[in-house]
Structure 1
């Protein structure tokens, strides 16, 4: 392949681009596997056609009506059609039937098929030419079986399946946040978590605008209202998710000191940013903590409240006051825990807490023995691996036990295996993106949202295979779209390409040789993610590194076509010098129209683009693209950014890629026009 030099491009002006029509410029298709992976499943060849299908619920449990609701939602969202409700109470061929083994006819159907619906939240699922049958061991099982059925939906119908399934872990908890952005985010996350078969949500509630906080002047303006907290609790329950409010005590307690209030209750009087409260001051409880717990129980209808108790001594002195020093930390933390537990018990609520205030090496010999054994203890460890002896240790001490994982690949997967082996209650998938950072679960720290997918797979079935393209599934469940194709045109960028993807002679790609190049990204017409691209080489711009310092700062492509949107398969040779959350502006696309007008699309690192070696996606503004490895085994990827054209009726004359010349240099590998002509 012959590539045009920077000088030639500069002299010749815009590089000519050849376009080829494609019926699937963008095509949204069903995810190829069921997540969580069922523990026993077979998928015979065949599909139950959509024509004439309706749903019939046999039973009165609310979970069964939720199941029908979710199916109807999918029919509307994915297929743009209605799923009717069958009027007869009997099983009729060619329908979707949802019920439990309490129905003798359904129990017989399951038995005749050689399937099993057993165990709490277990279900059997049969899809064949006669219809689709979701049969729960209980009503929750029928609901979870319906979540599996939803993932068998295609534009042609429901894929045949024979499944016997039940969860390995009985508690499967995902963490949510309440802040001023709650509604826009949690209304998407709650149905997503239900489809992934979580059954509880741990809801960070420190900064809810409790009545006592508003009256005392320490309610944070960024916190959610009580009405929003109540709404989230009710919405969660309507999707089978039991809400557990989390009020962090006695550390991480900056919420009670907001606006300089309650400073007389701080643990360390010398603290400039109060972190923990004084456990020996009765007003800590009567003025602040007990009223908040009472409001939380009432607002959520909470059966359990998580009282925090992690990292109590990680910032300020604890104990710091002389009376506390005289008693010592073990007695202080024991007294606080028992006090909160006993108060919650008077409200009819149980207590959950993190492990480290009671099971750290310095106190494990004294504190656990002094705590009530009906407290549920959650052990957090965010490292990948499968060896977590503390789970068994906490259980052996007499406490109901949960594990807790975070976002690193292998964290949830490994600890779920350890949890199943230890025979504990279940797992919590945590999310730590700041008290007022809800939107970042989509744009900013989206990798923490992707972890919901991987964790759900492991919590239900610790022996499950890794989820392929968990990023893509998260993106699709958070923002579901119709199964549909959009025609368009793929661009052949050969005339503009100035670097080959293969670097056989240390003159291509990044000039590092054949072991560190993009040669595994094949050239030619191909589907990458949801898009079709024609890959021929790299249109690489100037950057700060020596290997690209002599490349052009801008490259213009002739287009002369209309489009509804443009998909850019692009990356950078190196990462930004700043963290991805800084969203460094590294360049821009300048779109020039035939009428002489222009539109500029900034290219922000971590939002619109990232380096080929940066495989953690912090923003779902980027769609999943190509993933692979170099010859020496380095994981690499090329994401996709879809730009929506604000002037689809006007011909695009040209698109110019412009670099700011920073460490991260924009590099275009594929371009596809969606719609237009």
Structure 2
């Protein structure tokens, strides 16, 4: 009997593989190492996710839901005629076995990041391996972008990928003002996850009801029960969810241009808690800690005992010498401030929570180099920049500048002082490029992309900043087409009924 021979095309079809005539798909952020094989995998009757642990299954549910939403590709009930997707943590027996047969095992093991992942298409299946559930999720986010509609149906572009981020901490700061729609916050979290951010900072201002301090929020505003799903969404996307409450300036609960004070406009009896103009807390009044600590505690509970908390402390305008009264300065203004910062630091240290602080009150306004180039608000009588050396070195400095278009020395200043630093740009592309390139050059902790009162229009910059934070130094953002690279991921989200991926947590009990 003569042996039967098949053309290569037929052999590939038997393994669910197709020769792809199209070029490779656009992946953002671009993977660190990628080899396109030219051999696509047919999706067939859908995807079947093969997992062994509760964490792997939770990631699988997120990726399956996104494949259905974005591409209309369903999760298959059985493996017959479906494309297998193996999700495995390398700490598991199956993960270790799959890793030994992976083509990219050496570059994967050489990468230092705990967020790295390895993705390979093999005959009849896709394999994604990672150290952590977060790494698995990132591999899944890449896989979502590898789906291409061919003449015979959906297929997954063939590739071998090893990928990991440049900056370890990649966060998005979101404000909830009285006019902020929570669907807009949900959209921003989803966009950030799409560009592989790993942290979200939520500053609720006067827009979150407080059971213990009801005077600090407006009557018709959000409840903790309404904010909780956003916290759960971030957890489902394996993000650090970080609450923020300003503990010095911005004590009005509103931005300065609003001319509103959430407390004093309605409850003037609380005036002793604030400086003369109400903008900052009165640091000589010990009663401020009753309010602050009650609210800190509520936020820590709402965010499920997070690892981080943002204390703000920026733009304490009263301490620029604008006050006529010494009531809130004390006999030694600098020691008054130092004692305040110690009290805050001790509160969070006892709870094993690491804090962020905005940088500006720790830069001298008339500093010959730094004062001219940055937000710098330290002036007599407090001279708050002189308190910097008294701060615990585990404080994280959030260095913000929304105008810089070139390397900004303030980041290096705090880095050289021994602090972890995150670079904080805003909505302008050139500003984000300059700030994040400086962060990568110095090898600092990471970045915090801000949005303030421009949440919707900042979303393209969220994508740009996310790509820059992920990629190696020297990456040219101009190589990414603007429409497909930055706008399409936003357009892929519906205007209403946004995905509730937090539902993926229910079966795991996380």
Partner of 1:48: 41
**1:606-621 alignment to 2 at 5 Å?**
none
Q: Tell me the residue number matched to 1:549.
A: none
- Give the aligned partner of residue 69 of structure 1: 61
Given candidates 432, 446, 450, the residue that maps to 1:426 is 446
**1:374 maps to which residue?**
394
What is residue 144 of structure 1 aligned with on the other side?
138
Partners of 1:266 and 1:223 in 2: CA distance: 23
Shift of 1:206: 1.9
Which residue of structure 1 lines up, in the alignment, with residue 283 of structure 2?
279
TM-score normalised according to structure 1 size: 0.59
Task: Note the aligned Cα RMSD (angstroms).
Answer: 3.1
1:354-411 CA distance string (max 9 Å, x none): 1111233454762111112221111112234452332232122222221111111122
1:471-550 to 2 correspondences below 5 Å:
473-480=485-492
Distance in 1 between residues matched to 2:280 and 2:483, nearest whole Å: 37
Q: 1:236 aligns with which of 234, 237, 240?
A: 234
> d(CA) in 1 for partners of 2:236 and 2:264?
33
The alignment status of 1:313 with 2:317, answered yes or no, reads: yes
Residues 367/193 of structure 1: CA separation in 2 closer, same or farther (3 Å cut) = same
Match of 2:422 in 1: 402
Q: 1:35 aligns with which of 2, 5, 28?
A: 28
Determine the structure 2 residue equivalent to 1:652. none
For the 8 Å contact 1:55–1:68, the answer to whether it is kept is: no
Q: Report the CA distance shift for 1:368/1:108 in structure 2 as closer, same or farther (over 3 A).
A: same
Change (3 A) 1:370 1:418: same
Mapped partners of 1:33, 1:171: distance in 2: 24
User: Any residues of structure 2 matched to 1:221-260 within 5 Å, and which?
Assistant: 221=219, 223-255=221-253, 257=263, 259-260=265-266
Q: Aligned to 1:254, what secondary structure does the other structure show?
A: coil
Preserved contact between residue 297 and residue 349 of structure 1 (Cα < 8 Å): no
C-alpha distance in 2, partners of 1:400/1:112? Answer: 33
Give the aligned partner of residue 500 of structure 2: none
Secondary structure at 1:280's aligned position in 2? coil
Counterparts in 2 of 1:332 and 1:34: CA distance versus 1, 3 Å: farther
Q: Which residue of 1 aligns with 2:477?
A: 466
Quick one: distance in 2 between partners of 1:332 and 1:399? 22
Distance 1:55 1:189, change over 3 A: farther
Q: 2:211 maps to which residue?
A: 211
Could you tell me whether the CA contact under 8 Å between 2:108 and 2:117 is conserved in 1? yes
What CA deviation, in whole Å up to 9, does each residue of 1:115-138 have, x standing for no partner? 525421001112355432211133
| 3-state SS in 1 of match to 2:26 | coil
Pick aligned residue for 2:463 from 453, 457, 464: 453
Closer, same or farther: CA 241–376 of 1 in aligned 2, 3 Å: same
Q: Which residue is 1:644 aligned to?
A: none
CA distance in 2, matches of 1:65, 1:190: 21
**C-alpha distance in 2, partners of 1:31/1:427?**
30
Q: 2:158 aligns with which of 157, 160, 173?
A: 160
State yes or no: 1:60 paired with 2:59.
no
Distance 1:366 1:441 in 2: 35
Separation in structure 1 between the aligned mates of residue 86 and residue 333 of structure 2, nearest angstrom: 58
SS in structure 1 of the partner of residue 189 of structure 2? helix
- 1:350 corresponds to which of 334, 339, 354: 354
Deviations 1:174-227 (A, max 9, x none): 12233565432233222222121111101012221111332xx34214532111
Alignment of 1:39-188 (within 5 A): 39-62=32-55, 64-84=56-76, 94-102=83-91, 103-111=95-103, 116=108, 118=111, 119-155=113-149, 156-179=154-177, 181-188=180-187
Structure 2: gaps of 5 or more residues:
1-22, 254-261, 368-377, 496-510
Change (3 A) 1:264 1:79: closer
Q: 1:54·1:95 contact (CA, 8 Å) conserved in 2? A: yes
Question: Is residue 276 of structure 2 the alignment partner of residue 264 of structure 1?
Answer: no
Partner of 1:508: none
Deviations 1:585-629 (A, max 9, x none): xxxxxxxxxxxxxxxxxxxxxxxxxxxxxxxxxxx9xxxxxxxxx
Residue deviations 1:217-259, cap 9 Å, x none?
Answer: 3421453211123222122111111111111221111125353
CA distance in 1, matches of 2:396, 2:343: 15
* TM-score scaled by length of structure 2: 0.77
Work out whether 1:441 is the aligned partner of 2:452.
no
Q: Is the 8 A contact 2:201 2:242 kept in 1?
A: yes
- The 3-state SS of whatever aligns with 1:126 is strand
The aligned residue for residue 416 of structure 1 is: 436
Match of 1:296 among 282, 294, 299: 299
- Who is 1:389 aligned against? 409
Indicate the structure with greater strand content: 1
The CA deviation at 1:314 is 7.2
User: CA 1:77/1:404 → structure 2, altered by over 3 Å: closer, same or farther?
Assistant: same
Aligned equivalents of 1:39, 1:383: Cα separation in 2: 30
**More deviation, 379-388/106-115:** 106-115
Shift of 1:158: 1.2
Q: Which runs of 5+ in 1 are unaligned?
A: 1-29, 434-439, 483-619, 621-677
CA contact (8 A) 2:104 2:118 kept: no
Q: CA deviation at 1:474?
A: 4.7
Task: State the SS of the aligned residue for 2:429.
Answer: coil
